[in-house]
Amino acid sequence: MQTIDMASTALREVNSTLQAQKADTNQKQWEIVNPKGSHAIACGLDGPIDVTVRGSTGYYCAGMNKQAHVHIVGSAGPGVAENMMSGTVIIDGDASQYAGATGNGGLLVIKGNASSRCGISMKGIDIVVHGNIGHMSAFMAQSGNLVVLGDAGDALGDSLYEARLFVRGKVKSLGADCIEKEMRPEHLEILADLLERAGADARPEEFKRYGSARKLYNFNIDNASAY
């Protein structure tokens, strides 16, 4: 285990050290202490390493992550795991706005609650939130899966494309073109796998599935009031 103390190490050095760990690295276990809410910690990683951040982080922790497994033992600021490509990001606490924004792949697990716009414009990432999510989550979500064990705020899935949304609790309101959809066996299978990988204590049958009604995919003046 390599430990980096951010009380005495500059962010640039932290990130360049972690970014230098590629597929063949021997040093696979890393720990960051005293993050003190710094921004952009462990962003742009591209190697199969485990990074544990002991404390809460600022904006864009694990941004654009590839391959790495980042575990935040605390809460995360806005844009955690934004544009993630692959790997895993686990947050023990809560996540602020835009968690997993535009993510292309990998798994983001938030064990607490996520704020507004969770999974905004997601492009293939899987997100599992053990608690609740805020308003406008999965706005313009393109693909991937968003699983919420708690409740969802207003305008869930507004203008979404082909992302799948699974919510166990209440949905305050659905956004434009987002509807409840039939839960078919393949969806239960996807859900079971994600719940297991996210260490979530819930059964797939307890969830409802939401997705795009696809009515806004092409311009139609009679749908103008939906905007």
Partner 1 sequence: MNDMTKNAAGIPRTVPQKSATFTDAVNAEIRRAAATGIYDIRGGGAKRKVPHFDDLLFLGASMSRYPLEGYREKCETKVVLGTRFAKKPIELDIPITIAGMSFGALSGPAKEALGRGATAAGTSTTTGDGGMTEEERGHSKTLVYQYLPSRYGMNPDDLRRCDAIEIVVGQGAKPGGGGMLLGQKISDRVAEMRNLPKGIDQRSACRHPDWTGPDDLEIKIMELREITNWEKPIYIKVGGARPYFDTTLAIKAGADVVVLDGMQGGTAATQDVFIEHVGQPTLACIGPAVQALQDLDMHREVQLIVSGGIRTGADVAKALALGADAVSIGTAAMVALGDNDPHWEAEYNALGTTAGAYDDWHEGRDPAGITTQDPELMAHFDPVAGGRRLSNYLKVMTLEAQTIARACGKNHVHNLEPEDLCALTVEASAMSGVPLAGTNWVPGRGGNY
Contact string (CB under 8 A) for partner 1, positions 10-29, x = contact: -xx--xx--x----------
Which residue, 124 or 204, is less far from partner 1 as judged by CB? 124
Gap between the Cα atoms of 46 and 40, Å rounded? 15
Nearest CA to 89 among 191, 97, 103, 170? 103
| Piece in contact with partner 1 (CB under 8 A), picked from 25-33, 47-55, 61-69, 181-189 | 61-69
Smallest distance from partner 1 to CB 26, Å: 23
Which long-range contacts (C-beta less than 8 Å, at least 24 apart) are formed by 63-68?
Answer: 65/89, 65/106, 67/23, 68/18, 68/42
Four-point Cα dihedral 142, 148, 153, 157, nearest 10: 20
Which long-range contacts (C-beta less than 8 Å, at least 24 apart) are formed by 119-125?
Answer: 119/144, 119/146, 119/163, 122/146, 122/163, 125/81, 125/84, 125/100
Q: Does 226 bind partner 1 (CB under 8 A)?
A: no
Nearest CA to 20 among 36, 42, 37? 42
Which residue, 58 or 153, is less far from partner 1 as judged by CB? 58
| Piece in contact with partner 1 (CB under 8 A), picked from 23-31, 56-64, 183-191, 202-210 | 56-64
Which residue, 123 or 164, is less far from partner 1 as judged by CB? 123
Q: Does 210 bind partner 1 (CB under 8 A)?
A: no
Gap between the Cα atoms of 200 and 177, Å rounded? 29
142: CB partners within 8 A, 6+ apart: 121, 122, 123, 124, 160, 161, 162, 163
Smallest distance from partner 1 to CB 40, Å: 4
Q: Does 120 bind partner 1 (CB under 8 A)?
A: yes
| Piece in contact with partner 1 (CB under 8 A), picked from 21-29, 78-86, 176-184, 190-198 | 78-86
Which residue, 85 or 183, is less far from partner 1 as judged by CB? 85
Binding site for partner 1 (CB under 8 A): 11-12, 15-16, 19, 39-40, 43-44, 46, 58-60, 63-64, 66, 78-79, 82-83, 85, 97-98, 101-102, 104, 117, 120-121, 123-124, 139-140, 142-143, 161-162, 217-219, 221-222
